Amino acid sequence: MTSLRVTLSATLVALFFLCVLSPADSQTYPSRIVRIIVPYPPGGPTDVIARIVANGVAPILGQNVIVENRPGGAAGTVGSRAVVTADPDGYTLLVSISGSLTITPSLYKLGYDPLKAFAPIAILTQSPSILTVNSAVPGRTLVEFLAYARSIPGKINLASPSIGTLPHLLGELLQLVADVKLTHVPYRGAAPAITDLLAGQVQVMFNNPSVVLAHLEAGRLRALGVTSESRFAQLPDVPTFAEAGYPQLEAFEWIGLLAPAGTLKPIIDKLSGAVGEALKARDVQEAFRKLGVAGKAVSPQEFGSFMAGETRKWAEVVARAGIKAEEP
């Protein structure tokens, strides 16, 4: 019932603004401060990227763009719901991660459908995941590691930041396509998971490059595969999963900018254009490089189609793996 009320409310608000807002409103947009809600705590990667982009698009739009953190709820549902119910006028936007937008709908009763509740604007960044193992784990290559894991089914612990995150789903997908049995150990965040991976309490984990590059260079961890379509520039000797025979594991962790459903197309297009211009700026590219991510300029239509495809892909993995999660 709650889900129905939220959906109906969002639909009625969107219809109201479609009737009230005129093309002239979109021509003068933005005429006041634009607010970006980040549904996660300050200081994290998503927050940092949102602030880089906000600073980049503000002079292009000719208006201040501020970031507001609203953490809370599973997969950032508190902040996301605030955008779902916001006026679709382009002044309240959402920056969120791939997992929250395309994985959690298959695990939780969110009260909204991200594909219907939001209007995609732009993908801000994307980064591959690296399958990393503790240096003491046997197997120098992915093939050798999988052979070892098959010889002791369920004895190797697979860490993830929490249930339903991209590292968790990648681990489940690896088990499905490689016919291997691992034991999933979810944590409350990436930091404690990495700590235990380094200590050998867990043996394997999919990680963002920015999190593990220093540990890989120091020899404390070993990289077995990367989920990008081509090899990662900073790890040229590490093969892609497609090269290793598992193209199903090609995937990126991405961060996107969205507006409430019903936001006028001229406003969406203006925001998308501003983001595209900002991503070309040298200072933005350098800031992203230091974070181990890359800007990804696509049209709102391409972003929407991509998001729908990702939702279908991970829903199938959740179903096949029988993953269950509690309601947020």
Q: Domains in the chain, ordered, with CATH?
A: 2-127+254-321 (3.40.190.150), 130-249 (3.40.190.10)
Helices then strands, counting H and E runs in the chain, come out as: 13, 11
pLDDT per residue as tens digits for the range 246-274: 999 999 999 999 999 999 999 999 999 99
**pLDDT for res 161:** 87
Token pair, residue 161, equals 């930041």
pLDDT per residue as tens digits for the range 33-66: 999 999 988 888 889 999 999 999 999 999 999 9
Q: Strands, DSSP E only, in the chain?
A: 34-38, 65-69, 92-97, 118-128, 130-134, 157-160, 183-186, 204-207, 221-226, 252-260, 294-295
- Three-state SS at 58: helix
Cα–Cα dist 15/292, whole Å:
41
- Tokens 């501020």 locate to 66
Cα–Cα dist 84/261, whole Å:
7
* Closest to 261 measured CA to CA, from 110, 111, 94, 96: 94
DSSP 152: S
**pTM, full prediction:** 0.83
**pLDDT for res 6:** 47
Token pair, residue 92, equals 């309240």
* Model confidence at 157: pLDDT above 50: yes
pLDDT-based confidence at 210, cuts 50/70/90? confident
**pLDDT for res 90:** 97
Stretch 106-129: mean pLDDT, rounded? 93
pLDDT-based confidence at 18, cuts 50/70/90? very low
**pLDDT for res 213:** 86
* Model confidence at 7: pLDDT above 50: no
pLDDT-based confidence at 327, cuts 50/70/90? low
Stretch 192-210: mean pLDDT, rounded? 92
- Cβ(244)–Cβ(176) below 8 Å: no
